[in-house]
Amino acid sequence: MELPTPAGIESALANIRPHLPETPLVRSELLSRAFAADLWLKVETATPVASFKLRGALNAMVRARERSGASRFVTSSTGNHGQGVAYAARILGVSAEVFLPAAANPVKAAAIRAFGAHLHLVGRDNNEGKEAAQAHAEATGAYFVDDGESLDVMEGAGTVGLEVARAKEGLDAVFVPVGDAPLITGCGCALKAVQPGVEVIGVQSSGAPAVARSFRSGEREECEVDTLADGLATRFPARRALAGARTFADAVLEVPDEEMLGAMHTLLESGHVLVELAGAAALAGAWRERGRLAGKRVVLILSGANATTALIRRALDTPPLIALPSE
């Protein structure tokens, strides 16, 4: 199965750079002190869609236009990838239709509409929405932008890792949120190509553990979803994304929602960054591993910030992972 390559990720960076500047990589002093490590935040919330997802969607759509002249696009998503496709369609002057679960995050749904895409609310989760979206694309002749199986999406997502690897030498570990796994696949490829010794660690909700368990077993496992982290809500993994994760990642951890809520609170208070629950997963995973990270250079990828007000309130009602120093 064809997987991302360093050359493909370089090409993706050239495709997206005219439309998306490099996102910030900033050192957090308070988090560094709490971890006794050199801790950096890759702030993927600083994009027009408040998520890294624009990278993969834009690269896939640019390449599809070059290959076949595609001008109509369809996708399925839990929300952030749908926003990426909707925004990319607007800047490329093409049309887009996005399928979200019936109970989709209203912040993400509103943004997709605002970017000008036609929105369909279908099914109980993204897996059911994907079936409907693929059928619709086939019936209408539109190009389907597949967030789990598309090599172009993975190589676009991999530009996050390429920016990190080039910006900061001597990396020991990078923690990456895992939903459908294109991000960890692309980032793992780019990071290990530039810095072969870096450890790439995925973090998934224990309420949606399909990729983590499939990563460990080597077989695609279906797991029911019971998580507040809609960006990580995958019932079973895509084949290419799972193959990529098992090729380029060193581990995929599971963390409960409560720890991600605490991490979300911590990032607001000590990191000065607003994230959604999926965006807090990297910190929650790193906190579990903190005993072995002392003295190391660590990057947390903050993947998105499309949180509802209710979720932000709940995070603030959850104790943070670290206490602010009193002196």
Please list, residue by residue across 295-306, b when 16 or more beta carbons sit within 10 angstroms of its beta carbon and e when fewer do.
ebbbbbbbbbbb
Domains for the chain: give ranges and CATH numbers.
6-51+155-316 (3.40.50.1100), 53-145 (3.40.50.1100)
Q: What is the pTM of this model?
A: 0.95
What is the reported pLDDT for 327?
A: 62
What is the reported pLDDT for 125?
A: 79
Q: Evaluate whether 39 touches 267 at the Cβ level (below 8 Å).
A: no
What is the reported pLDDT for 236?
A: 87
Average pLDDT for runs of 10 along the chain of length 327: 96 97 97 97 97 97 97 94 97 96 91 96 85 95 94 98 98 96 96 98 97 95 93 90 96 98 97 96 98 98 96 97 81
What is the reported pLDDT for 233?
A: 87
Kindly give the residue spans of alpha helices, DSSP state H, lying in the chain: 6-16, 29-35, 53-68, 80-92, 106-114, 126-140, 151-167, 182-194, 210-217, 239-248, 257-269, 281-288, 309-316
Task: Measure the CA angle with vertex 137, ends 134 and 142; round to 5°.
Answer: 145
Rounded-to-integer distance, Cα 214 and Cα 201, Å? 15
- Which residues are CB-neighbours of 66 under 8 A, at least 6 positions away? none
